Amino acid sequence: MSSLRSKKRSRLFLDAADQADWQRWLPTGLFYGITTNPTLLASAGLDCSLSEIERLVRAAFTFDIEELHVQAWGATTQALLERGRIVASFDSRVVVKVPISFEGVAAVKALRAEGVRTTFTALYAVHQALTAALVEPEYAAPYLGRISDGGRDGHAEVVAMNEILRALDAPTRLLVASIRTAADLTRLAQAGLDTYTIGVRVARELFSDPQTLAATVAFEAAASDGFTSDAVSSAPRADSNLEPSQPDIRK
């Protein structure tokens, strides 16, 4: 666990449940943790079951991350509460995600009273930031891209949510999800938002600027030329083992 990383204000999460994606991206050191949900579990071929999630938790913390966000499920407050408790018991670094529904709000309130760290997920309306400020989970996750898909200005609404949390001095971090491009990240950062989760496609985009790639290729080509020159100049001469006083009589 990186103490330096935990002190930083900004936090970037990897939104993935496939362990091959974890192995590829987590060693970069960019990611504070991992976020998952039942849809991502299904995409990775995993069951949304407590036994499967327990195995996933153990695997996640073999990597150098601070948190793993795992979503509770169930149609009632009691079901969300019971599953949330069990998921949280797997590791103290697990953060339990719960939809910001009527049942979910009651479940988060109870989980927080028991010392369980929580995230409200699936925020779509600005007023839901007020709900989050009142209940005070560790995180609240609006879906930027999906808000925009509904015909609204997703960036403006996410910024408004963040302004509500800051104006009320709420301890809750706005964890922006459904980020579609690296440009979304830069717009959010410019607006003062500092906590995000991104999928593999956006992670790949962070490392795929064509000019940077071209410059890297050019540097490597120049370095290879220099290595060849160094190798030639530093290679021992064929007669280097001859004694100074011994004449070279080879033809």
The full set of domains in the chain, from first to last, is 3-206 (3.20.20.70)
Place of tokens 């504070």: 32
Q: Give the helix ranges, DSSP H, for 75-196.
A: 77-89, 102-113, 128-135, 144-149, 154-167, 182-190
| 109 assigned to active site | no
Enter the DSSP assignment of 236: P
pLDDT tens-place string over residues 190-212:
999 999 999 999 999 999 999 99
Q: How many CB atoms lie within 10 A of CB 54?
A: 16
* Catalytic residue chosen out of the listed positions 7, 97, 109, 251: 97
Q: How many CB atoms lie within 10 A of CB 224?
A: 10
Q: Which of the four pLDDT bands, split at 50, 70 and 90, describes residue 243?
A: very low
Has residue 15 got a pLDDT over 90? yes
Which contiguous run of DSSP H or E holds residue 35?
Answer: strand 33-35
pLDDT score of 227: 61
Q: What's the whole-number mean pLDDT along residues 64-71?
A: 98
pLDDT score of 5: 56
pLDDT score of 245: 43
Per DSSP, the three-state class of 158 is: helix
Which contiguous run of DSSP H or E holds residue 140?
Answer: strand 139-142
pLDDT score of 4: 54
Residue pair 120/140 in contact (Cβ under 8 Å)? The answer is: yes
